[in-house]
């Protein structure tokens, strides 16, 4: 296992379920019972209709690269090894998440590329979702 040297997420009441399931290899997003809209990032109310009837929903973990950038230099600790890909991935459920594309040459990433979630263990309690080219 490689050493995880990036900043760790802050886990709070709104995100604890997400991080608990990520540790088990499941990507969760939220869905509103009132308007049936999916949302990302986790929050206590629906960003669409303001309902508090939010439920956790297992994502398929599949999506496409909506946009991306390749970073070659960055002086921020944990992000100072490049090149790496920062991407906005649109999940099959319609929400978009910022993430890194891993397990491929950054030059092979393209808009519309099919990707799937993979998890990197940061600590024994935290696994971070990234995306890799779909198999």
CATH number at 106 reads 2.40.50.840
11 inside domain = no
User: Region 92-114: what's the mean pLDDT?
Assistant: 97
22-42 per-position pLDDT tens digit: 999 999 999 999 999 999 999
Read off the pLDDT band of 75 (50, 70, 90). confident
The answer to whether residue 45 sits within a structural domain is yes
2 confidence band (pLDDT: 50, 70, 90)? low
Residue 1 lies in a domain: no
Instruction: Return the H-helix or E-strand segment holding 100.
Output: strand 96-101
What is the number of domains present in the chain? Answer: 1
Residue 83 lies in a domain: yes
Question: In the chain, which ranges are continuous DSSP H helix?
Answer: 16-23
Backbone angles phi, psi at 17, to 5 degrees: -60, -40
89: β partners: 65, 97
Phi then psi for residue 61, to 5 deg, are: 80, 5
Task: List the beta bridge partners of residue 120.
Answer: 128
């Amino acid at each position: 296992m490689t050493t995880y040297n990036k900043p760790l997420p802050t886990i709070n009441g709104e995100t604890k379920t997400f991080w608990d399931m990520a540790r088990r290899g499941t990507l969760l997003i939220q869905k509103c019972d009132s308007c049936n809209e999916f949302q990302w990032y986790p929050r206590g109310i629906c960003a669409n209709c303001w309902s508090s009837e939010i439920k956790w929903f297992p994502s398929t973990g599949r999506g496409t690269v909506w946009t991306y950038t390749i970073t070659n230099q960055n002086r921020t600790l944990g992000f100072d090894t490049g090149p790496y890909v920062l991407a906005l991935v649109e999940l099959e459920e319609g929400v978009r998440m910022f993430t890194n594309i891993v397990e491929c040459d950054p030059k092979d990433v393209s808009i519309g590329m099919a990707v799937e979630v993979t998890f990197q263990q940061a600590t024994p309690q935290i696994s971070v979702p990234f995306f890799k080219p779909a198999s």
